[in-house]
Structure 1
Amino acid sequence: MGKCKYCGQDAGFFRSKHDECEKKHRQGLAAIKQIISSCFVLKEDFYLKDREIKQIAQTSFIDSATLNHEMCSAFDEAIEGYLNDGVINSEEEKIVARFIQYSGLSQTTLNANKSLEKVLQSKVLQDILAGNVPAPRITIAGDFPFLLSKTEHLVWLFRNITLHQQKVQREYVGRSRGVSVRVMKGVYYRTGGFKGHPVETTVMQRVGTGSVCFTDKYIYFASPEKSLKIPYSKILSVESYSNGIGLQKDGANDKPIFLEGINSWFAYNVIANYKE
């Protein structure tokens, strides 16, 4: 007899759960997430819902690890909701701080999907929008491969960002489909085998992986393969993607670049405000 993974009772031959237990478990998870989400939206104290949350968890077979996972999910969605309305305001900051205290979750856990990082980046954007010198609110560990001027101020530092640069590739198409043969003296190849024509395509070619530094004047990139220093005033266009940003610099020989792994929401807003 198999045992139900939720209630621990016999579940029947070749079964690991009761359907009713699984349904109760899922409903409990949904209810807890709804409570936490409502606290974020309505600015209510999480501690006032603590007894209700614990009771639901107990009766819905929800262990502490699963509960923590659900709270992190609610936290991620709440931060996205706050940022969709603009930068996080002071009242929302208090709710975020209260949740961190209530949940007891580590910063590493809460930042698994970069949500905690986005909260700090929102504070930086507030400084920029207000015309103040931004406080980066980060601790730099390891090497800092950039030499900033005395009048420059650090905004943010990203690690492990991959630089791609546009490159034109040429290939020949339309050639006859035949076997490859070794070139030999005295062997004749018919002209029909040389009817291919060149076609040019543009691709984004990986250049290297390194660090990206945003200051109030420049964007820097440094890797063993390549280094860049781009003034905001020289940026013609910015394209925002889910996994990074694309930049086109003002210059006859400058090819479009793509910074993969960077927070496009934050980067786009920094560039847009310093370019004005």
Structure 2
Amino acid sequence: MATCKYCGQSAGLFSRAHKACEEKHDRGVKGMGDLMRRYFGDSVSAADLKAKIERNRLPYFLSEYDIADAAIIALSAYGETLHRPYGQNVLPKIKAFLSSISVPYSRLNQKGDLDKLGQKLFQGYVVDFFAKGVPLSQIRISTDSVTSVLPLSQQKKDEAYYNVLNKAADKFMSNGSLSDNEQQLIESYTGSLGIALNCLPMQYQSESLARIGQAMVLKDLQQGILPKNPLTVPVMLGRGECALWVYDNVTMFQEKIVREYQGGSRGMSYRICKGITYRTGSFKGRPVERSSMDKVGVGSLVITNKHFFFHCPTASVKIPYSKLVGVTPYSDGLEVHKEEAKPKRTVFQGFDAWFVMNVLNQVNNL
């Protein structure tokens, strides 16, 4: 005989729950959800919420999972109603709620629901740096109050900081140019957080942010100075050399020339003895060259004030600007022409060549 999963009594041969128990449980789950929504609607106090949860837990067969599911739904709905500027009671309300329901934080955040709410609040305070000019030192007081209630990993915090930076970049570049004040804001923000625009993690890169970073590098070069924050790159730089930008996932191709002879022969063969043959006649042929663009590898292209550096697991290539006789830009890369006795085509693919072409125009003035 099976037992009822709610009351634990015999439920019959083929049943896992009494119908009455199941209906009662469903009413309890619905009532729990309504109670939590009323709490966030300010019609139920934290003390009443806690008392009613404890009073209804056993009579309505409510498990910790039932309470957790209802809490996640209520918190998510509450999060959707929050908009900047956040009221002073938002975090105390969430903190009191989490304390009242007595469910482990890890269970509530099993699918990242609390991380999502925490990031929204964290990011909302960080936005005030660009929206209201609030210093990051003051903003950290607010973000610390968020993480004291809704703990976030460093990765989640970084995501929030980068998301705000990308939104600011999109707004600043919407008219196609960057004002001096906007540049100062970007520099102050990135400087305080230790963010290098010319070497961003791939998941945080955006077209607007790249354009801003490149524009700032070019402004420095126009004034005859190198960037203040040098990059750490996987290649050895020379004295007075500075890495300006790093492109990831760049494919390098290099021309390969194969020479072979084509032609034919004619004449006669005479057998002298076993294993020895004498042949008369002549061979007429001509050398033929075939070229192809062979893939060298996929890696990082480092742009410095003196060289192109390409680095991948199978190859490292350095091309001095002083050895260039020409550069052909493409929509997705560029081809460099080197001063060599037997020049071979070299192509880098996987980036916008606009910045590189401007760098080459400026480095000659340094």
Q: TM-score, normalised by structure 1?
A: 0.51
Which position in structure 2 is the counterpart of 1:124?
217
Partner of residue 71 from structure 1, selected from 157, 161, 164: 161
**Secondary structure class of the residue paired with 1:18:** helix
1:219 paired with 2:307, answer yes
Which whole-Å CA distance do the structure 2 matches of 1:239 and 1:270 have between them? 16
Q: Distance in 2 between the 1:99 and 1:166 partners?
A: 37
Q: Distance in 2 between matches of 1:21 and 1:128?
A: 50
Contact map agreement 2:337 2:343 (CA 8 A) in 1: no
Structure 2 residue 330 is the aligned partner of structure 1 residue 239? yes
Q: Distance in 2 between matches of 1:232 and 1:44?
A: 49
**Equivalent in 320, 324, 339 of residue 229 of structure 1:** 320
Letter in 2 for 1:229: P
Matches within 5 A, 1:250-269: 254-258=344-348, 260=350, 266-269=355-358
Give the one of 225, 228, 247 matched to 1:133.
225
Match of 1:220, SS state, is strand
Specify which structure has the higher proportion of helix.
2
- Structure 1 residues 81 and 254, CA, compared in 2 at 3 Å: closer, same or farther? farther
Whether contact under 8 Å (1:11, 1:18) holds in the other structure is no
Contact 1:162-1:259 within 8 A present in 2 as well: yes
- In the superposition, relative to structure 1, how do residues 263 and 49 fare at CA in structure 2: closer, same or farther (>3 Å)? same
Q: What fraction of aligned residue pairs are identical, expressed as a percent?
A: 9
Cα RMSD after superposing both structures: 5.5
Rounded to whole Å, the distance in 2 between the matches of 1:225 and 1:153 is: 17
CA deviations over 1:175-229 (Å, ceiling 9, x no partner):
xxxxxxxxxxxxxxxxxxxxxxxxx9976623475763422xx533365464433
Among 266, 276, 295, the alignment partner of 1:205 is: 295
Instruction: Classify the secondary structure of the residue corresponding to 2:127.
Output: helix
Amino acid corresponding to residue 307 of structure 2 in structure 1: I
| Aligned partner of residue 235 in structure 1, secondary structure | strand
Residues 23-74 of structure 1: CA deviation (Å, up to 9, x unaligned): 334555546545533531554445666677677x489x74333455323321
1:156 and 1:214 in contact (8 A); partners too: yes
Higher relative contact order (CA 8 A, sep 6+): 1
Query: Match of 2:226, as an amino acid?
Result: P
| Mapped pair 1:156 → 2:244 | yes
Question: 1:164: how far off?
Answer: 1.3
SS of the residue 1:234 aligns to: strand
Superposed displacement of residue 258, structure 1:
1.2
Kindly state the Cα deviation for residue 234 of structure 1 after the two structures are TM-superposed.
3.4
Rounded Cα–Cα distance in structure 2 between residues aligned with 1:17 and 1:203: 60
Question: For the structure 1 residues 270 and 23, does the alpha-carbon distance in structure 2 shift closer, same or farther, using more than 3 Å as the test?
Answer: farther
Partner of 2:73: 19
Using the alignment, how far apart are the partners of 2:158 and 2:299 within structure 1? Answer: 33
- Helix, strand or coil: the match of 1:73? helix
Q: Give the partner amino acid of 1:20.
A: A
The CA distance in 2 between the partners of 1:90 and 1:54, in whole Å, is 28
Q: Secondary structure at the match of 1:64?
A: coil
Which aligned pairs between 1:91-110 and structure 2 lie closer than 5 A?
A: 92-94=183-185, 96-97=187-188, 101=192, 107=195
Match of 1:40 in 2: 130
In structure 2, runs of 5+ residues without a counterpart are 1-5, 7-28, 34-52, 54-63, 83-116, 257-289
Residue 193 of structure 1 aligns with which residue?
none
Structure 1 residues without counterparts, runs of 5 or longer: 169-199
Distance 1:167 1:16 in 2: 64
**Letter matched to residue 167 of structure 2:** E
**SS of residue paired to 2:78:** helix
Distance (Å, rounded) in 2 between the aligned partners of 1:138 and 1:122: 16
- In the alignment, the residues of structure 2 paired with residue 52 and residue 144 of structure 1 have an alpha-carbon distance, to the nearest angstrom, of 42
- Higher-Rg structure is 2
Aligned length: 226
